[in-house]
Amino acid sequence: MWGLKRLNLVDSPSLKNPLTIMGFGGWADAGNVSTMSLAYLRESENAANLGFIDVSDLVDHTYHRPIVSIEGGFIKELAMPSFEIHYSVRRDRDLILVSGYELSHGWQEFAASLFELMDLFGSKTLTTIGGLIDNTPHTKPVRITFLTTSRKIYAKAMAEGLRPSNYTGPASMHSYILKRSGERGVEAFSIWGHVPSYLNTPNPRVVLAVLEKLSSMLETTFRLERLYVEATVFDSKVNTFVESDERLKEMVRKLEAEYEESERRPFYIS
């Protein structure tokens, strides 16, 4: 294994125009949309281990503890928190997948290592995936918003029916990384799936919608067959659950009316 500061790589594959996709747990992972998306891509795209970004001193260990393996009274292994890096060599565009947990501090150091990784493998495009809670019904198309550093991506996103994000408040690592990407001239895109407020559980339906849009936006293909099945099963369970609760049914009806009104309203006054 060879290392570059925080960046530690165990392989040096030759990648063609790789797309870097990031997801992380924490504040901006409603419905596990971010972490589930990365986990699904790792499995479905047969991604191999590329290494990690060492963030062990940037994590609050009382919340995100190291993982220990103990056998017969002896410690066999102790793994410190890190951002895992995987890669997938594909027929169209290769992937670099980066996943971990949002850091409590040291965002600048992490971003430097991320850009170092991208430079090493010639990755010119960065995407982050997030999830947020919203007053949106599960019966309507998943609402997806975005932010970007690229006018080209902005035009594509608008053509795909995504809405540009409008927000003022505490920032996530997503916003920080996109700001730094813009300063470096990196083409960056952050896509956010909106999770119904009454369904803040792992939500494959929103994950599917996000990955479908991401595939179309970036003109690449993902293997989504298993996710279609999981989303269908999830929808069936949710519908059964809602049908058994009159108060919840009434709330969903109100959210449907609000959703339809919002969709009729131009995005620039929403």
Per-residue pLDDT tens listing for the chain (270 residues): 444 479 999 999 999 999 999 999 888 899 999 999 999 999 999 999 999 999 888 877 777 788 889 998 889 988 877 899 999 999 889 999 999 998 888 999 999 999 999 999 999 999 999 999 999 999 999 999 999 999 999 999 999 889 998 888 888 899 999 999 999 999 999 999 999 998 879 999 999 999 999 999 888 899 999 999 999 999 999 999 888 888 888 999 999 888 888 776 554 433
CA 150 from chain centre, in angstroms, equals 19
H helix intervals, the chain: 33-44, 107-121, 151-159, 173-184, 204-217, 225-243, 246-264
pTM score > 0.85 for this model? yes
Long-range CB contacts for residues 167-173, cutoff 8 Å, separation at least 24: 172/26, 172/27, 172/28, 172/102, 172/130, 173/24, 173/28, 173/102, 173/103, 173/107, 173/110
Q: DSSP readout, 6-53? A: TEEES-----SSPEEEEEEESTTBGGGHHHHHHHHHHHHTT-EEEEEE
* Structural domains counted in the chain: 1
Instruction: Supply the CATH number for residue 17's domain.
Output: 3.40.50.10900
What pLDDT was estimated at residue 26?
86
Domain that holds residue 261: 2-269
What pLDDT was estimated at residue 112?
94
What pLDDT was estimated at residue 213?
95
**Separation of alpha carbons 163 and 127, rounded Å:** 16
What pLDDT was estimated at residue 4?
46
**Separation of alpha carbons 65 and 59, rounded Å:** 9
